[in-house]
Structure 1
């Protein structure tokens, strides 16, 4: 019996600075959370890395506020932060969490397959991204 095909992952874009920082985190994460480290490494390998000023304004990156929906569930808004600033009660989610890694580099209307903390395969949809003061919302088809 063959393994079911993995859902296709969307194109993602990361700044050179974020890519370098996250690459260091993935090496550190390898010792304590090898599965998350592999997921992060895979995302870093497939990302288009651009100069910091060339990152699309609506791309998810550390510091972004992101509204997303998992499958047909409720929308949830979080702020993506580095681990030292994570505070789930305040909605500040670590970039190294499974959902944080899945959101990395996405833009509104993109979907991403990922495994939640229980290991269940899920799909999330980015509804809106705010970087700075300007919100970007799901306004068209972009995969």
Structure 2
């Protein structure tokens, strides 16, 4: 019985190596293009300008407060600074995912409206969280976002 138990123990490390090799092949490839939305319409000149990557939640008051300063930076240093906004819905903002999804949909239809919609969310965001949404259904809040 000792010989058979030694064989089982010696197969465990081999099995772990095989599983580890298979797991390495399941990695996601690097995307062909950078995600995010470039502010100002021109693609960032990687290596030639400072690229500020901002992770914003359309329903987050901190993102709303940071946005005007980011826009001023681009306006002031337009030839030397680029901003790429990545939408980052935070889990504790109930309707952030829906807001981000709508911005991505608008980008597919007409990319020139992305920042108009983002700024609309910033302007009216108190309507999409906390007390104003407590007694409303998800469908009602989605209709408010239209």
Which TM class, normalised by the smaller chain length? under 0.3
TM superposition score normalised by structure 2: 0.25
Higher helix share: 2
TM superposition score normalised by structure 1: 0.26
Higher strand share: 1
